[in-house]
């Protein structure tokens, strides 16, 4: 609901619908350590930056997850950092450098020249390409192995419970069954 509200308030400047972003969130949940809820939260924040739209928006959310994986920060914070960097590319490069993303002097000059001539989209593209070369794929890579498998199991289980809860009769039966299993496990532990 928060995402839909932000999209509406910004006049859908992102060029994406809530349903499209929900699909992206589900895809990221199944391929990274992000939760769908976390992706939707980050998308809500990113949607407030009106100059980030379409494919750039999608690339930015994915790059934010990669940035989070490498630098150990939450997805929302990474989305804010990237949103600020892409909204004001000249200042943004400096801010990203403080986090650990490096740009050559030539890249910084090119970004400044693009912004000066009004090619903000080109500057955004260059920033994302640079970021993707440095941290691209880190979000998916950290989701490998046992830790990733446990995360995906937890996500799938949570999604299943959400669907079951939508039907009161099924939700009640599942709730009762899970409580019985919990008591049995507690007795076994004892």
pTM: 0.79
**Nearest partner of 96 among 120, 122, 121, 132, judged by Cα:** 132
pLDDT for the residue 167 = 80
Mean pLDDT, the chain, whole residue set: 91
Q: Of 74-88, 98-112, 148-162, which range is least confident?
A: 148-162
Averaged pLDDT, 94-123 = 93
Range of 92-96, 111-115, 135-139 with top mean pLDDT: 111-115
Q: Measured between alpha carbons, how far is 171 from 167 in angstroms, rounded to an integer?
A: 6
Averaged pLDDT, 59-63 = 97
pLDDT for the residue 64 = 96
Q: Return all residues near 43 (Cβ < 8 A) that are at least 6 apart.
A: 3, 21, 24, 25, 57, 61, 79
Q: 171 pLDDT exceeds 80? A: no
pLDDT digits (tens, 9 = 90+) for 35-58: 999 999 999 999 999 999 999 999
Instruction: Please report which confidence band the pLDDT of residue 28 belongs to, taking 50, 70 and 90 as the band edges.
Output: very high
Q: 175 pLDDT exceeds 90? A: no
pLDDT for the residue 162 = 76
Q: Of 20-24, 45-49, 136-140, which range is least confident?
A: 136-140
pLDDT for the residue 165 = 76
* DSSP state, residue 63: H
**Nearest partner of 76 among 128, 129, 3, 134, judged by Cα:** 3
């Amino acid at each position: 609901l928060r995402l839909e509200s932000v999209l509406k308030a910004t006049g859908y400047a992102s060029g994406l619908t809530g349903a499209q972003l929900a699909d992206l969130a589900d895809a990221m949940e199944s391929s990274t350590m992000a939760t769908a809820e976390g992706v939707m939260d980050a998308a809500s924040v990113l949607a407030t930056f009106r100059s980030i739209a379409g494919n750039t928006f999608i690339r930015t959310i994915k790059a934010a997850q990669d940035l989070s994986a490498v630098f150990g920060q939450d997805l929302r914070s990474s989305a804010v950092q990237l949103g600020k960097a892409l909204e004001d590319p000249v200042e943004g490069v400096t801010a990203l450098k403080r986090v650990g993303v490096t740009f050559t002097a030539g890249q910084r000059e090119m970004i400044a020249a693009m912004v000066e001539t009004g090619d903000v989209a080109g500057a955004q593209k260059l920033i994302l390409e640079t970021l993707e070369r440095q941290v691209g794929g880190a979000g998916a890579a950290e989701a490998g192995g046992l830790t990733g498998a446990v995360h995906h199991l937890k996500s799938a289980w949570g999604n299943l419970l959400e669907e079951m809860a939508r039907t009161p009769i099924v939700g009640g039966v599942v709730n009762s069954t899970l409580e019985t299993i919990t008591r049995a496990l507690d007795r076994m532990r004892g």
